[in-house]
Amino acid sequence: MINISRLAGYNKQDIKNVLLLLQELVITYKDNKVKLNYQSRPVILFLSTLITTAGLGFYFGIRNIITRYNEYSLNRRLRRPSLIRQSSNILKNGSREIFIPKGKGTVTRIIIPKPNNDQYAADKYLYKDFARNQEILSQQKGLIFNSKFLNQLTIIWRILIPKFYCKNTSLLLSQCFFLIFRTWLSLLVAKLDGQIVKNLIAANGRKFSRDLIYWLLIAFPASYTNAAIKYLELRLALGFRTNLTRYIHDMYLDKTMAYYKIDLNSSEIENIDQYITNDVTNFCQSLCGLFSSMGKPFIDLIFFSVYLRDNLGTGAIMGIFANYLITAILLKRATPSFGKLSSEKAHLEGVYFNRHLDLMTNSEEIGFYKGSLIEKFKLSQNFKKLMDHATKEINITAAYSVLEDYVLKYTWSAWGYIFAGLPVFLDELWPAEDKKKVQKENDSASERKNMRQFITNKRLLLSLADAGSRLMYSIKDVNILTGYTDRVFNLLIQLHKVHSPRFDYGDKRGISDIHGTIQNNYHDGLRFENIPIIIPTSEGSEYTPLINNLNFTIKHKNMLILGSNGCGKTSIARIVAGLWPLYKGLLSKPNDDDIFYLPQKTYFTTGNLRDQIIYPHTYTEMLEMGYNDDYLYHILREVKLEYLLKREGNFNVVKDWKDVFSGGEKQRMSIARVLFKNPKLVILDESTNAVSTDVEDYLFELLILKKIPFITLSHRPLLMKYHDYILEISDEEKGEWKLHDLTSEENLQSIDIEIKEIEEKLSQIDKWEKRKEDIDRYLDGKYDDISIESSIVLPERKSSTTTTTK
């Protein structure tokens, strides 16, 4: 028995209704009189969800079995243990085949489509003309709508979804379907909610139990739908990031060497790694999140407005949307510039990250200099700037959130209650057909109907208010997305600039004066015709050249480019390699694949010992060339590094090789790469200055024995004995140069004369030593022991002098 005295303060009728309901529920469950309509929507939706889930499970199970079988077949075909690592191969259709290890000796095969270079050539005009079109549109008056953000997003959208029949399109359409389906389910839930409350008030136990079961059944597809929307959002963001990253990589890492040239244009873009990694990721996640957060409320507004119009009338709906419009205008004016804030924060995070990266990269050098305090000071400065900006962003966001929450959560909820109560309190707002059904205000059936209608309308109005509030909340998300979009779009603009064959290297005059001609596949060596060596700057060809017009031809000979530091030796190699522009003249050289460059600082890639020898080739390419590990061991023996296999174990050992090798080992490893490559020409930039003299002699003799022509950049004249030509860059007059042919008769005679002069001077060493001893005695005052010859030729003078002693 229930103690009714404990329910004091409650309406007696409500207490009786609750007791009658409980009694009805007990009788219902005892008599099993609750009957479900198996043709009702909740039951059909529940069964459909179960069947769909079972079908998807069967599909993914079969696909998983097929995938595992393909991987098993692939692993059997690739039985070489050294292939159980990341390697790649170019297929016949141009696609790249990549093998990625999964662990336990298994690999996964992934196919990356061939880059469409025609697309990049066509797309560059979109980015090139964007600024000009924006300027023209901004000058035109009378435009109803012009958004830089939407124009940028439209151009980037071609990358995210390049064609209609693609995976991202199916994900997007699936997400649209589930968004609409979730709104329709919300309508069903709202109606069912009102029906449950009606049965509860009417104390109808059987219908209440039936509707409660319907509620539990419809909850399953509703929960399934919410999970599906979140899943599709994440998959779509991943698909967008994949397409955008591949598009960027295809331009950033191709033969035009955009990764190097974009650094010369650092005034336009800094910390490009921050753009490619964090900014692209944040852009894709923000875009997909905004689509989901705005798509659902927008669909809710349409569906709920149509349904509520029949219950509340057109006037109430117009009032609701007028409220939305006023709120949007108010929040738009009060919304801070979240786009600029997010963009600035991303920039400061990139600077702070790169400061840490520089510290890790140069930790040994900083340790030798004892520079921890100054590095700490610089790092603290960058961190303070980041924290100040983060504090500013938090303060601005907090102030805006107060206004946003008050208007959207509480004010709109109050309006929702007002509009939901209009049909109950104001008879004139009811539709005409409902007026005929309402006969008596005090009739109990009418009260239950009003209660059900109020619950339904209130739930829909609150959902409508929630949809509107989420749209208003999206104003902040749109501003944040605007910042990420602007940074990604700026990245694409700069990549298209440096990817262009007519890249002006930051010429601020707006013109391209790169008029030099490069002739590839030149089989007669290397030829320079009137080529000035100019550093690429904003002044273009007007910048003072490091070296005046070079004009010479080297045919399968070895040349030494001699000069002091900073005179332009490495700059010549940069022009030959295509890193710097050829402003004037004609450069004839072999094909790029036939030239090998050894920079001053040897680069070591992430991988095993084998990768360091065959770089920049992969292991698969090495096998296709017909080489194996025995051949690599032979190369190590030739450069006197065979002991590395005993020290490290085998070719498959993975280490941070730049910290493992000494300076001399690094340079000998670079010569090993030359032997593996066997190019038609190799350019050595101070590539033997860290080895001993005997090893240096051996390495140059090895290159000569292998008949590999080389050009050496150095400041040491002693290396001339290994070369046939010397290009001497003058130190006194900047830009002047001279070419000496060491194989000509004149130079050979001059060398013989110089050798004879040296031999004559060496023959007088005994006399010079005796002369030195006599002078020392003379200075000490020992005049009697001195016997100085009357005429001795001093080594530093060409004329003889006569000395008389006291």
Most confident of 45-59, 374-388, 766-780: 374-388
Give the residue from 48, 470, 392 showing the smallest Cα distance to 220: 48
292 — pLDDT class (breaks 50, 70, 90)? confident
Residue 713 pLDDT > 90, yes or no?
Answer: yes
Residue 607 pLDDT > 80, yes or no?
Answer: yes
Q: Is 568 in contact with 535 (CB distance < 8 Å)?
A: no
**Residues 730, 738: Cα–Cα separation, whole Å:** 8
At 625 the three-state DSSP class reads coil
At 551 the three-state DSSP class reads strand
Residue predicted with more confidence, 288 or 85: 288
98, β-bridge pairs: 88, 110
Say which DSSP state 79 is in.
-
802 — pLDDT class (breaks 50, 70, 90)? very low
464 — pLDDT class (breaks 50, 70, 90)? low
636 — pLDDT class (breaks 50, 70, 90)? very high
**Percent above pLDDT 90 for the chain:** 14
Residue 185 pLDDT > 60, yes or no?
Answer: yes
Q: What is the largest CA-CA distance in the chain?
A: 152
Instruction: Go through the chain and tell me how many residues it has.
Output: 806
532 — pLDDT class (breaks 50, 70, 90)? very high
Give the residue from 362, 244, 304 showing the smallest Cα distance to 658: 362
Q: Residue 670 has what pLDDT?
A: 93
Residue 699 pLDDT > 90, yes or no?
Answer: yes
Mean of pLDDT over the chain: 75
Residue predicted with more confidence, 214 or 632: 632
pTM for this predicted structure: 0.70
Mean local confidence (pLDDT), 321-348: 72
Residue 502 pLDDT > 90, yes or no?
Answer: no
Mean local confidence (pLDDT), 480-490: 87
Give the residue from 522, 620, 589 showing the smallest Cα distance to 82: 620
Residue 39 pLDDT > 70, yes or no?
Answer: no
Q: Residue 530 has what pLDDT?
A: 92
Which of 143-157, 318-332, 414-428, 624-638 bottoms out in mean pLDDT, i.e. has the lowest? 414-428
Residue predicted with more confidence, 791 or 497: 497
Count other C-beta atoms under 10 Å from residue 247's C-beta.
23
Residue 701 pLDDT > 90, yes or no?
Answer: yes
**Residues 561, 229: Cα–Cα separation, whole Å:** 65
**Residues 689, 657: Cα–Cα separation, whole Å:** 20
Spell out the alpha helix ranges (H) of 40-100.
41-77
Q: Residue 2 has what pLDDT?
A: 42
Residue 86 pLDDT > 80, yes or no?
Answer: no
321, amino acid identity:
F
Mean local confidence (pLDDT), 370-393: 83
- How many Å separate Cα 83 from the centre of its chain? 27
Residue 322 pLDDT > 80, yes or no?
Answer: no
Residue predicted with more confidence, 32 or 668: 668
Rounded to 5 degrees, φ, ψ at 107 are -130, 160
Residue predicted with more confidence, 185 or 511: 185
Most confident of 23-37, 324-338, 612-626, 732-746: 612-626
Which of 58-62, 282-286, 485-489 bottoms out in mean pLDDT, i.e. has the lowest? 58-62
**Residues 221, 637: Cα–Cα separation, whole Å:** 69
Residue predicted with more confidence, 242 or 97: 242
Which of 30-34, 125-129, 543-547, 708-712 bottoms out in mean pLDDT, i.e. has the lowest? 30-34
Mean local confidence (pLDDT), 599-614: 89
Q: Residue 658 has what pLDDT?
A: 86
Classify strands 526-533 and 547-554 as parallel, antiparallel or unpaired: antiparallel
Bond into 795 cis (ω within 30): no
Mean local confidence (pLDDT), 156-168: 88
Residue predicted with more confidence, 22 or 536: 536
**Residues 327, 322: Cα–Cα separation, whole Å:** 9
**Residues 211, 218: Cα–Cα separation, whole Å:** 10
Mean local confidence (pLDDT), 103-129: 68
Residue predicted with more confidence, 54 or 662: 662
Residue 450 pLDDT > 70, yes or no?
Answer: no
Q: Residue 323 has what pLDDT?
A: 66
How far is the first Cα of the chain from the last one, in angstroms, to the nearest whole number?
145
CB-based contacts of 441: which residues, under 8 Å, 6+ apart?
none
Q: Residue 346 has what pLDDT?
A: 78
Residue 325 pLDDT > 80, yes or no?
Answer: no
Residue 405 pLDDT > 90, yes or no?
Answer: no
Q: Residue 613 has what pLDDT?
A: 93
134, amino acid identity:
Q
801 — pLDDT class (breaks 50, 70, 90)? very low
428 — pLDDT class (breaks 50, 70, 90)? very low
